């Protein structure tokens, strides 16, 4: 059954249903939540869902994308500053922690927070107080933290790029949001949802070949990429959307070839160790090949040029089930 709610989490996926059920329990508490998932997977939407289902729903939900904020401005943005604290501080300014008082603070891309800010962030969370730049006293805060990361923070801790004590402070309730390619059953309802959003006056529907192409595409940009393509198509389409109406990267090419090309973006991620990139690529290829073979292991092994025993070992290594 399609699930919708005030923040429009549209899904047919059992994985997402399980996540939402878990969030329904967690949201009632004030515990910190760490959302983990690839860029574009919808972490901000889940942060909205958590806040709207919490006791803080009538208070503000303040958001910041840490990756988009210049490092030299981040401390002032988070904790505020007093007048005269630095050259251009012509008046006092409340930080995001103060603005979120009584509500929730969503720190997106927390894996990008500079190491110089990490101890101050930890203190704010532990002591529940902040000090503005140039200030002489602390300010009490009552904030529920929702953080998001596009990488496994533990790997950053192991490489001394992220403080272990901060990691354990925010890793209270970790929630991994699967990539769109791992829940292909969500692709049709999401695409139709966005078509309806961007062209409510039209009666748009997907032809069988278009639907097949959408489901087979690996969606490296996840839900954000799907939304943008749906918006573009909704602008020009009249009634039936066919495969030829889709962008060439979706309508053309073998799914596994597309998947390999999509995963090359991981190889330029500075935060991903080489072994993690290889594991990600191999896992995605195995899942796509299994999907094409309808879960038949022998056919999958032939398609990939592997022996059946090697395929079994790899499926076991990555915890991949033929029933996924």
- The DSSP string of 189-205 is HHHHHHHHHH-TTS--E
Strands 129-130 and 139-140, by their bridges, are antiparallel
Tokens of 23: 């969030």
Residue whose structure tokens are 């090949």: 289
Mean pLDDT confidence for 180-187 = 92
Mean pLDDT confidence for 92-107 = 94
Domain spanning 184-252: CATH 1.10.357.10: no
pLDDT of residue 4: 43
Closest C-alpha among 218, 209, 287, 195 to residue 251: 209
Top pLDDT among 277 and 153 is at 153
pLDDT of residue 84: 66
Sign of CA dihedral 166, 102, 89, 148: positive
Supply the angle between the helices 274-292 and 308-318 in degrees, to the nearest 10: 120
C-alpha pair distances (Å), 262 with each of 130, 216, 256, 272: 42, 13, 10, 15
Average pLDDT taken over every residue of the chain = 86
- CB-CB neighbours of 208 under 10 Å: 9
Q: For residue 2, name the pLDDT band (cuts at 50, 70, 90).
A: very low
pLDDT of residue 293: 76
Burial 215-231 (b: 16+ CB within 10 A, else e): bbbbbbbbbbbbbebbe
pLDDT digits (tens, 9 = 90+) for 247-298: 988 887 555 555 555 565 555 555 556 667 677 778 878 887 887 777 888 8
Domain spanning 14-176: CATH 3.50.50.60: no
* Residues 186 and 45: beta-carbon distance below 8 Å: no
C-alpha pair distances (Å), 202 with each of 2, 206, 238, 299: 21, 13, 7, 42
pLDDT digits (tens, 9 = 90+) for 234-248: 998 888 999 999 998
pLDDT of residue 312: 86
pLDDT digits (tens, 9 = 90+) for 16-50: 999 999 999 998 889 999 999 998 999 999 999 99
Q: Is the pLDDT confidence value at 1 over 60?
A: no
Burial of 83 (0-12, 13-18, 19+ CB in 10 A): exposed
**Residue 317 φ/ψ, nearest 5 degrees:** -60, -45
Query: What residue ranges do the domains of the chain occupy?
Result: 14-176, 184-252, 261-318
Burial of 72 (0-12, 13-18, 19+ CB in 10 A): exposed
Q: What is the largest CA-CA distance in the chain?
A: 71
What does pTM read for this prediction? 0.76
Domain spanning 261-318: CATH 1.10.3470: no
Q: Is the pLDDT confidence value at 306 over 70?
A: yes
pLDDT of residue 288: 78
* Cα angle, residue 313 at apex, residues 309 and 317 outer, rounded to 5°: 170
Tokens of 235: 């602008």
């Amino acid at each position: 059954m399609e699930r919708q709610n005030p923040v429009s989490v549209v899904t047919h996926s059992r994985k997402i249903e399980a996540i939402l059920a878990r969030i329904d329990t967690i949201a009632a508490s004030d515990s910190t939540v760490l959302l983990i998932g690839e860029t574009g997977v919808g972490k901000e939407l889940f942060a909205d869902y958590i806040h709207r289902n919490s006791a803080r729903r009538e208070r503000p939900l303040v958001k910041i994308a840490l990756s988009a904020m210049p490092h030299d401005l981040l401390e002032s943005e988070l904790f505020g500053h007093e007048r005269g604290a630095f050259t251009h501080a012509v008046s006092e300014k409340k930080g995001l922690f103060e603005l979120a008082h009584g509500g929730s603070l969503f720190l997106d891309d927390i894996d990008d927070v500079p190491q110089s800010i990490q101890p101050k962030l930890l203190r704010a969370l532990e002591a529940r107080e902040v000090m503005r730049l140039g200030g002489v006293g602390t300010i009490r805060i009552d904030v529920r933290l929702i953080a998001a990361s596009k990488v496994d923070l533990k790997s950053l801790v192991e490489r001394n790029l992220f403080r272990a004590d901060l990691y354990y402070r925010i890793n209270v309730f970790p929630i991994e949001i699967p990539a769109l390619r791992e829940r292909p059953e969500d692709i049709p309802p999401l695409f139709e949802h966005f078509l309806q959003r961007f062209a409510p006056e039209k009666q748009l529907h997907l032809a069988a070949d278009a639907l097949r192409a959408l489901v087979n595409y690996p969606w490296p940009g996840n839900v954000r990429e799907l939304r943008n393509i749906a918006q573009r198509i909704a602008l020009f389409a009249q009634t039936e959307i066919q495969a030829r109406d889709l962008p060439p990267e979706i309508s053309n090419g073998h799914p596994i070839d597309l998947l390999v090309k999509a995963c090359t973006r991981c190889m330029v991620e500075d935060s991903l160790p080489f072994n993690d990139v290889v594991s990600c690529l191999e896992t995605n290829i195995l899942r796509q090949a299994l999907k094409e073979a309808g879960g038949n292991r022998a056919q999958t092994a032939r398609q990939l040029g592997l022996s059946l025993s090697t395929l079994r070992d790899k499926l076991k290594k990555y915890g991949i089930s033929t029933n996924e």
